[in-house]
A and B are shown apart, each in its own frame.
Chain A
């Protein structure tokens, strides 16, 4: 990435001029309140958000701000109390077709080898075996798992297992991929490499990506836009456009622009993180 800072402004104009059709994902006035044992907890909102088709959007926020709740709402796992959530113009009720989710925890099935893990969703969906083979072979090759197709997850490192989970989502050809702190448990080098893989996947599939993360550098390096969330109840306090080239990779971390983005994100987030710490609550998001 030798993209000089001067180029960036041009690129960001290009992003703005993308045809403004119906948003791929639209959230309006979403709030979420949890009730447990007589106490109610206002976890999220009101949140408004629209994602353009094919955009890479990241959400950063202090822990416990409702980032994962936001993902649950979009994935149809947890209906909001108020507001409307739409995917491709249709209200989200239950898990919508065309949405793939990668979780933070290792969700690979230890009783299946890599190949069968990747093929799992397609087999359950009753896809034609020839088609399954084609898509699984492609996804395994794409994620660099070719030599491990017969291995079981227990024999793989954490990064490789997360690749299996990504491949398992990839074969379903989702149009919206959501990732909930997918690299949270990995070491720094692996995280950067996995970031590159994710960018490659994004370019290849032209899916819309929503990445939830607590790592500012990850958000700054990967995204077209980064939404910064406040402490609970989480709302967007800033949305930062990065203006990166579509062909970016992890080497952008050495550019001054990367420093600028990270600094801006941290400036907003620092205040929230301090608030979070002073409430002395350490619930996970």
Chain B
């Protein structure tokens, strides 16, 4: 119970700071917590808003699925082959350090306006961290696990599914936690430009119209969503650490 008490205090403190900041900068730059919640509840009761939410949700789920499955598969392959890993790691790190937004025009040209471009841009953000985490997890896995699976005469597939994946699962979850927020970032940025639907598009149009309460309401919704998912993954992570 003490843990929940602590969480509640942090949330209350954040709301208090938000309120104070609002009183300081005024209506022109911020909406108050109360105004934001009111606006959000209005938005949540309009059908149009849900179209945008589901659009973003679909793009995000698809992008996350590709980033997670692709990242783990790539990471496992690169992690198992020592040379492949040595070659790929600096390339991946360098690729990742490119500000991906400058490539977005190219992504739009390749995938066209709409869903696939958003998904691709989300994957571009999420895939590499998950790959790097999985790859390093395999390289740091105790060698005795692989020797054990050899001695137990497991097939390659059995070794991968029943030894390697469970052994690296905690690191993979850390990678997915990072990849989760980056993929969400990628999808939203993708929607903010050259898009007609989605929460990112709503944000851009709200910015253009100066609807501060809408901006804040969307930000609040995304924050709550991201924190909730992250908490779930952290709980799963803790559960694994306890074993």
| Residues of chain A at the chain B interface (Cβ within 8 Å) | 75, 77, 95, 97, 99-101, 103, 105-107, 109-113, 120-121, 124-125, 152, 154, 172
Q: Interface-forming stretch among B30-38, B54-62, B76-84, B139-147?
A: B139-147
CB–CB A100/B151 < 8 A = yes
Contact indicator B145/A103 (Cβ below 8 Å) = no
The total of chain B residues at the interface (CB under 8 A) is 19
Bound CA span A113–B147, Å: 20
SS class, residues of chain A in contact with chain B: loop
Known: A110-B243, A111-B167. A105 touches B142 (CB 8 A): yes
SS class, residues of chain B in contact with chain A: helix
Pick from B7-15, B158-166, B229-237 the stretch touching chain A.
B158-166
* Contact A77 B169, CB 8 Å, known A110-B243, A124-B162: no
Decide: B144 and A121 in contact? CB cutoff 8 A. no
Q: Is the CB of B243 within 8 A of A154?
A: yes
10 pairs from A and B in contact (CB 8 Å cutoff): A75-B151, A101-B147, A103-B144, A103-B147, A106-B144, A109-B166, A124-B158, A152-B243, A154-B242, A172-B152
Interface membership of B153, Cβ < 8 A = yes
* Min C-beta distance of B145 to chain A, whole Å: 7
Residues of chain B having any CB pair with chain A under 8 Å: 142, 144-145, 147-148, 150-154, 158, 162-163, 166-167, 169, 240, 242-243
Known interface pairs A109-B167, A124-B158; A77-B151 also in contact (CB < 8 Å):
yes
Contact of A120 among B142, B152, B240, B242 (CB under 8 A): B152
Does A109 contact B147, Cβ atoms closer than 8 Å?
A: no
CB nearest neighbor in B for A108: B148
B150–A111 contact, CB under 8 A? no
- Inside 8 A of A97's CB, which chain B residues have their CB? 153
Q: Sort A-B residue pairs by CB-CB distance and give the 9 closest, nearest first.
A: A111-B166, A105-B144, A101-B151, A121-B152, A152-B243, A107-B144, A107-B148, A103-B144, A95-B153
